[in-house]
Every structure is written in structure tokens, then in C-alpha cells.
Amino acid sequence: MKKITAFIIAAAMLFLLGSCSGKPKTALIIQGAEINSELFAYYLDRVVSSPEGYGLEKTATEKELKDATVIECKKYVASNSEFLNAGNSLSSADKVAISDQVNNIWMRSEKHYESIGVSKQTLTKVVTSEKYAEAVFTKLYDKGREDAAAERAIQNYFYNNYVSFRTVCAYFSSADGTPMTQLEKTEMLNFLTGLSGETKITQEDFEKSFADTGYAVSSTVILKKNSDGYPEGFYDAVNQQSDSTVQTIVYEDCVFVIYKENLAEKGESVYTSYRASCVNDLYADRNDERIEKTIEVLTVEQNDKVIDSVYKKIKD
């Protein structure tokens, strides 16, 4: 009961803040908080643009798209209410970051948002809500480095799910797409595969192997398990490779020569750079479950006329 009451109080604050202009019509009232047509349009546009990202099929029905949008609006209200109920406030740095993010998005997509009736002010509300959600998540799940057990779990996740390497990637075709002759391909493979081995070498020796060859050695790559951008099986092959060794992996259209680095030896700054992402990976599912339980009890009043109008505008 206390939780619902807190939601009502925070929702009333959101209603007052969202009603000042009096221009956009109300699409939803969620636990007393107004979701105007602009906010509904923003979330509906996201759902329509990528239904798979919201658990729907590409062929999702109008009702399914609208229902998914209502859920996103409930999450918006929940994030704002949780943040405000805890007596939190954004720092000056947070506000600057929000402003910069909104300006960047608006610069790229102003025409699109204006075409669906979403103002820059509404975009600011959305980005602010996302910042609220991040703050709540951090407070709940990131206990800080003082919690030794929690910090150890984050570090273990990082070192067990990321690899560090440098690589040379060569394609079996020229820059204009002309395929290599079989002789050229054989000569290239003989050289590149000849560099593989279990003998440990230094990074400098790896780079010297390509001196005056025309091949470019990449800077350090930090790759997360299941990331896009590399062929299937690439991460597993590098993960199983011994540190300071070289292996060559041949694919249908290219070949990689990989020097495996010791991730732990890259220094504390590298871990720090990826720490927040690791915390998110570790606790995102738990947080999603928590949010689902939170929003399922929120009451919703729908203005179908406004919702239908927004839907028609976005779909046309």
C-alpha cells in the first residue's frame, strides 16, 4: 500500500509538470500520471519501427503495437516515480549530458520527430526518464568497490567474457572487389598462416612480422562474447588461444592473423571502462523482472480517440 501511495504522489507531480503547456492531448493516465499524445507517439514510433525489440513479430497487429506502447509508457512513469520517491535529483553533469544527448538526437532526427508530433521538450522528458532509470539501476545493483564480493563478481564477469587482441585482416579481393588469383591467394595464405604458433612472442615482434609488407596491424581490440562485427566462432577461437601467441583463422572471404593479449595486464583503466557494462549484463534480467512486477499493478486509463489518431499519423 505504501508503494502505491508513493506512486500516486509522484504521479501527481508528473501530471502537473506534464500539463503546464496544455497543448498535447492526454493519451493515457497511468496511476494518476498523464501521458500526453507526444509521449505516446514517441514510444509508439519506437515500437512500430522495431517490434522485435519489444517481443513482437514484424507482422504485429495494431492492438499488439498499442499494447506494447502502453507498457513502455508504464515503464516511463515507473522510472520517474521511483527516482522522485527516493528524493533523488540530477547533478549538473547529468543535466548537461541530457542536454547534449537531446541536441545530438534532435540535430539528426528533427524532421522525423516533428512529422510524428514529438517536440524537443518531449524528447528531453524521455531522455531524462532514461537517466532516472539508470540512476535507480545503479543504486540498486552497483554496490561500489567497497563491497568486495560484488566487485569480485563483476571482475570475474569481465575477464571471463571479454578478450583482448591485435589483428591483421586481409581479404581475398582488392579494394574494388576484384578477386585474387589462386596464386595470389596461395602466396598470401602461405605467409599469414606461417606466422601461427604456440610460441609466445611480444607485441613488438608481432608488429615487426608485418614491417614493409603492406599489412596494417590494428590497435588493441576489446571484444565481448556474442558481439556483432566478427564472423561466427571468432570470439571462441580467440578466447581459447594462449596469451602472447599468434593464430591465423581463414574464412571464405578473408583471413585474420590474431595476436592474443593478456587482458588482465592491460591495466585497471581498461576494466574501469567496461565495468558499468558488466554490471548491466549481470543484473539487467533481475532489474527487468523487478520492473515487470512494478508496472503490472499500475492502473491505466486510455483515451482511445487520441491513441487512434497518433497511431494513424505514425503508420501513414
Domain boundaries, the chain: 2-141+283-315, 156-266
Percent of the chain with pLDDT over 90: 86
266 contacts: CB under 8 Å, gap ≥ 6? 164, 220, 222
Rounded to the nearest angstrom, the gap between the alpha carbon of residue 287 and the centroid of all alpha carbons in its chain is 15
Q: What local confidence, expressed as pLDDT, does residue 316 receive?
A: 83
Q: Does residue 235 register a pLDDT over 50?
A: yes
Average pLDDT of 294-299? 96
Q: What local confidence, expressed as pLDDT, does residue 146 receive?
A: 85
Closest CA to 242 of 207, 198, 192: 198
Q: Does residue 133 register a pLDDT over 80?
A: yes
In this structure, are residues 121 and 24 in contact, taking their beta carbons and an 8 Å threshold?
no
Average pLDDT of 187-198? 94
CA 58, 108, 17: angle at the middle one, nearest 5? Answer: 85
pTM to 2 decimals? 0.78
C-alpha grid cell for residue 264? 588482465
Average pLDDT of 62-72? 98
Give pLDDT tens digits for 155-175.
Answer: 999 999 999 999 999 999 987
In this structure, are residues 311 and 43 in contact, taking their beta carbons and an 8 Å threshold?
no
pLDDT category, 17, cuts 50, 70, 90?
Answer: very low
Q: What local confidence, expressed as pLDDT, does residue 6 receive?
A: 52
Average pLDDT of 283-301? 97
